[in-house]
Amino acid sequence: MDTHETNLEKYAELVVKVGVNIQPGQVLFVESPLEAAPFTRKVVQKAYEAGAKYVQVAWDDEAVTRTRFEYAPDDSFGFYPEWTARMMEQLAEGGGALLNIKVPNPDLYQGIDAAKVSAATRAASRARQKFQGYVRNKTFSWCLVKAPTRAWAAKVFPELPPERQVEAMWETLFKINRVDAADPVAAWHEHIAKLKSMRERLNHKKYKRLHYKAPGTDLSVELPEGHVWFGGAGLNDQGVSFVANMPTEEVYTLPKRDGVNGTVRSTKPLNLNGRLVDRFSFRFENGRIVDYAAEVGQEHLADLLSTDEGAEYLGEVALVPYDSPISNLNRIFYNTGVDENASCHLAIGSAYPFTLENGTKLSKEELVQRGANVSLTHVDFMIGSAELDIDGELADGTLEPVFRKGNWAL
């Protein structure tokens, strides 16, 4: 077996044993692009070897997706199949696991009417509200991973000849996911332990606010009473560990819904469901976005912010050092699941209830009362750089450095 095939085997084993952490007798649902079929087949094999009862694969074809937006009637875009939403709910309710091999093409909707994409996104969000509640409450195990597609690899490695781009992407994914380690599973358990140590330090601090300073950024983010920092692995309702995103380099919590003030500027492009937004900024007053601008894709940003009331507020604050494995590659991936783990970031939209003490037991109204944001959407955007400083404000008003020049100062 050559090196690439060996690494594919190791990667598949890693996402099964550490990502979704399949348990004997468990059902696994896999969402995968057609181009990732060879890798997906290995995942299916590893899942059955780990004791999975049943593995179902749902294939995604971007050409089919785009055809809908080119030729379907207007009333198509407000429709989302109820049976699909219910299937996902049953997966979570039955203790199954979800593996999403997610690699949206940043240029997929180029030339498509933005209103169609916005309508389809809203319809899916509304139909999947209950399922997304299971996701955000860690009711079941789920994991997002990456695999190359030709379109994505061409976007990330435009300097390479086309026949080398997918290979280069595979090599990069193996590296940032620690697949090149002698024992990737052991390497990930060590990595998870380090992230856990950092989140425990932050939980001990119980900061009242974080103050961000960088070119174009002067932001104060209040943290609600009872906020909890997470990072690395989490536990589902059955007490089984899983990693929601691979790769992951972040520790994160929620901001107080009405406690964000100031301005913030993005530092990386945002692939917003196949629509590119770049060089954008927001101004906040009492938590709400009151002004925004984007040099590229402002209309897509406007669509996002009009999703619902909660889309005008933040739901996540995440810390990632600039000196970290993905950031040190000095490459933009046009994929939030990768780029957010190379950069400090914030998220527009819903908070994760588990980042608030006893939050998973609260209703939407109770979450808002406790300071958490609620929304149909959750979109991360990157703000980290080598020029970012962050101060933590303690309960008595004392300020202490958390980040200096993009890296941990704790």
pLDDT band at 260 (very low <50, low <70, confident <90, very high): very high
Query: How many Cα atoms within 13 Å fall on the side-chain side of residue 186?
Result: 4
User: What's the pLDDT tens digit per position in 282-304?
Assistant: 999 999 999 999 999 999 999 99
pLDDT for position 311? 97
User: What's the pLDDT tens digit per position in 134-154?
Assistant: 999 999 999 999 999 999 999
List, in sequence order, every residue forming a beta bridge with 403; answer none if it has no partner: 390, 408
Q: Under 8 Å CB-to-CB from 61, ≥6 apart: which residues?
A: 33, 34
Residue 124 corresponds to which tokens in the numbers above?
């899916």
Q: What's the whole-number average pLDDT of the chain?
A: 96
Q: Residue 50 in contact with residue 16, Cβ under 8 Å? A: yes
Query: How many Cα atoms within 13 Å fall on the side-chain side of residue 251?
Result: 20
Q: Residue 105 in contact with residue 152, Cβ under 8 Å? A: yes
The predicted model gives 125-135 an average pLDDT of: 95
Q: Pick the closest to residue 287 from 317, 326, 319, 313 (CA basis).
A: 313
User: What's the pLDDT tens digit per position in 184-197?
Assistant: 999 999 999 999 99
The predicted model gives 321-328 an average pLDDT of: 95
Gap between the Cα atoms of 52 and 47, Å rounded:
6
Residue 1, pLDDT above cutoff 70: no
The predicted model gives 317-329 an average pLDDT of: 96
Which of 145-158 are b and which e, b meaning 16 or more Cβ less than 10 Å from the residue's Cβ? bbbbbebbbbbbbe
Burial grade of 51 (CB within 10 A; 0-12, 13-18, 19 or more): exposed
Burial grade of 159 (CB within 10 A; 0-12, 13-18, 19 or more): exposed
pLDDT for position 114? 85
pLDDT for position 103? 87
User: Global pTM?
Assistant: 0.92
Gap between the Cα atoms of 144 and 254, Å rounded:
20
Q: Under 8 Å CB-to-CB from 202, ≥6 apart: which residues?
A: 229, 251, 253, 319, 410
3-state helix, strand, coil in the chain (%, to 5): 40, 25, 35
Residue 36 corresponds to which tokens in the numbers above?
């990732």
Q: What angle do CA 268, 273, 277 make, to 5 degrees?
A: 35
User: What's the pLDDT tens digit per position in 77-93?
Assistant: 999 999 999 999 999 99
The predicted model gives 50-71 an average pLDDT of: 97
pLDDT for position 104? 80
Residue 273, pLDDT above cutoff 80: no
